[in-house]
Structure 1
Amino acid sequence: MPTQTRRAGGFLLWFAVLGGALAWTVHVFVAWGVDELTCRAGNTSVGGVPVRGIVGAGVVIPALVTLAALLLAWRGWRRATAATRDHDSPRMQRTGMLLLIGLGADALFLAIILAGGAAVLVLSPCQ
């Protein structure tokens, strides 16, 4: 297997496992952080952009990244389990286990982002 393919596969594997957690971290800093800091300063916009627009982007973009990680984990898990059935490879078993953990974690983080985003978007800013 060429080195470049192995690197891309490794990156995609770790993105599938940790992408939801990283996206949730961005969501917390952007959606909640911008709301808190802007309101504490007594403003309702950041650089002319309303807080609700920034918060909306801080919910939608991380949710899409998490969804991409979730779909990638699902696709990889299906391939890994199929490969494990054909060849009893410990490496594919480990990969399948990592991707199964990624499936659960990504689903959980997607739910957290959507629930937190609903709270931030439903409540008016600076309340």
Structure 2
Amino acid sequence: MTERLSPRAATFGGLLLWFAVLGGVLSWTVHALAAWSIDELTCEAGHDELAGFPLTGAIALAVLLPAAGAVAALGVSVLAWRRTRADLPEGGEQSVGRAHLLAFVGLWLNTLALAMIVLGGVAALVLSPCQR
């Protein structure tokens, strides 16, 4: 017996599934734009602070906040993958199978995005800012 969801619950579930798939990639994009542009623009202006905040601290925030977003997306994708795995139909409804596939893709995309954020953060923080 299939349980019918309300339109609001179905919309919220759909948005969560898309967050599970694309959240890490969007976080990686924010990281790449923020961390490297903060470094480049601040150094190009000849400063080692950003609005009175040390450059290393600003870069660390540009790494930690997107990493938290990628971890959240990874958690949602794990939850979606587990829930849809238990509900996989034998031959009936294909939407659960699609959701399971999207959750699985989200697992790998978010893991890759988190790795890229961490590695990019290590590079941004280990290499001294404003190197000429």
TM range (shorter): over 0.9
Unaligned runs of 5+ in 2: none
Percent of counterpart pairs with the same letter?
44
Question: How far has the Cα of 1:5 moved from its partner?
Answer: 1.2
Structure 2 counterpart of 1:107, from 93, 105, 111: 111
* TM-score (norm. length: structure 2): 0.91
Q: For 1:19 and 1:86, locate their aligned partners in 2 and report how far apart those are by CA, in whole Å.
A: 30
Please say if residues 89 and 96 of structure 2, whose CA atoms lie closer than 8 Å, have aligned partners that are also in contact: no
- 2:81 matches 1:77: yes
Structure 1 counterpart of 2:20, from 11, 16, 26: 16
Cα RMSD of the aligned pairs, angstroms, is 1.3
Higher helix share: 1
Structure 1 counterpart of 2:120, from 108, 112, 116: 116
Structure-2 residue corresponding to 1:59: 63
Match of 1:84, SS state, is: coil
- 2:72 matches 1:68: yes
Structure 2 counterpart of 1:36, from 36, 40, 56: 40
Match of 1:70, SS state, is: helix
Q: For 1:83 and 1:40, locate their aligned partners in 2 and report how far apart those are by CA, in whole Å.
A: 54
Q: How many residues align?
A: 127
Unaligned runs of 5+ in 1: none
Question: How far has the Cα of 1:3 moved from its partner?
Answer: 2.1
* TM-score (norm. length: structure 1): 0.95
